[in-house]
């Protein structure tokens, strides 16, 4: 992967790179990868299920999920993130930035969740490691969670059934992101559009969330999108 990294960067951070284990976790196309909701066979439901309803669900599966940890006091960290990503990590609490196929969510003052196309995960991780300095951590969690997109006029009602967080326009504008209770589990909830919301959920809870969402949206009609 050295050709992806500018040579001077490698030199500057050569030690740092040696100090953590790096691993491209992606296999080739011959190795079947299954998202956390693979067993639900959403593609078939999308084909055979209802086409109209108040809530539309789509799993954005097998994306690259990177947890980025670092201090906002560490300029080498922030500057490195900007250099590698092409934009700043959002330091305003509960905010997010989306550019092209990359989006990053504020999770905590020293934690962000970056989501990129699945095949880019390792390259982006390496670029970040090369560009960032000082104390920081990057963890690939692509296999441990998945993204669900909910859209439609009745999504807000489904959210009101599911989370005690205030999802009203005045409190939850587009772009805001919160980690909160979702049914009996938790989710990173981001508003991505007027009627569009994104949930990031953990793999082992995915089936529970899927059951919950089917139930909560039943009265509005649930459409599954492939």
Judged by the rule CB under 8 A, the positions of this chain that interact with other proteins are 18-21, 23-28, 30-36, 39, 62, 67, 69, 93-94, 107-111, 135-145, 157, 160-161, 163-166, 168, 170-171, 178-181, 183-186, 202-205, 207-208, 211-212, 215-216, 218-219
Q: Which helix (H) or strand (E) holds 88?
A: none
Q: CB-wise, 99 or 226, nearer to other proteins?
A: 226
Smallest separation (angstroms) from other proteins to the CB of 18: 7
Of 128, 89, 93, 132, nearest to 109 by C-alpha is 93
* E-strand stretches of the chain: 55-60, 64-70, 96-99, 102-108, 111-116, 136-140, 145-151, 177-182, 185-193, 196-202, 222-225
Residue closer to other proteins, measured from CB, 86 or 165: 165
Hey, what are 187's tokens? 């989710």
Residue 1 or 99: the one with the smaller Cβ distance to other proteins is 1
Q: Which token pair is 163? A: 């989370």
How many CB atoms are located within 10 Å of the residue 105 CB? 26
CB closer to other proteins, 20 vs 226: 20
Least distance between other proteins and beta carbon 23 (Å)? 6
79 vs 221, beta carbon nearer other proteins:
221
Question: Which residues have CB under 8 Å from 137's CB, separation 6+?
Answer: 20, 67, 68, 69, 70
C-beta of 131: minimal distance to other proteins in Å? Answer: 17
- Token pair, residue 76, equals 């080498």
Return the number of the residue (66 or 224) whose C-beta is nearest other proteins.
66
């Amino acid at each position: 992967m050295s050709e992806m990294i500018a040579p001077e960067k490698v030199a500057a951070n050569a030690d740092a790179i040696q100090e953590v284990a790096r691993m491209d976790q992606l296999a080739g196309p011959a190795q079947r990868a299954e998202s956390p909701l693979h067993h639900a066979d959403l593609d078939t439901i999308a084909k055979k299920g209802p086409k109209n309803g108040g809530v539309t669900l789509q799993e954005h599966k097998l994306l690259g999920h990177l947890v980025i940890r670092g201090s906002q006091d560490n300029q080498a960290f922030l500057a490195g993130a900007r250099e590698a990503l092409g934009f700043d990590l959002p330091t305003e609490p509960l905010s997010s930035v989306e550019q092209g196929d990359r989006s990053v969510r504020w999770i905590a003052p020293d934690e962000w969740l970056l989501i990129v196309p699945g095949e880019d995960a390792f390259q982006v991780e390496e670029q970040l490691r090369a560009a960032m300095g000082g104390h920081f951590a990057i963890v690939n969690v692509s296999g441990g969670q998945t993204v669900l997109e909910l859209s439609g006029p009745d999504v807000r009602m489904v959210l009101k059934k599911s989370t005690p967080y205030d999802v009203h326009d005045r409190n939850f504008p587009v772009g805001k992101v919160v980690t909160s209770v979702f049914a009996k589990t938790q989710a990173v909830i981001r508003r991505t559009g007027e009627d569009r919301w994104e949930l990031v959920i953990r793999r082992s809870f995915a089936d529970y969330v899927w059951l919950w969402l089917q139930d909560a949206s039943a009265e509005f009609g649930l459409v599954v999108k492939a």
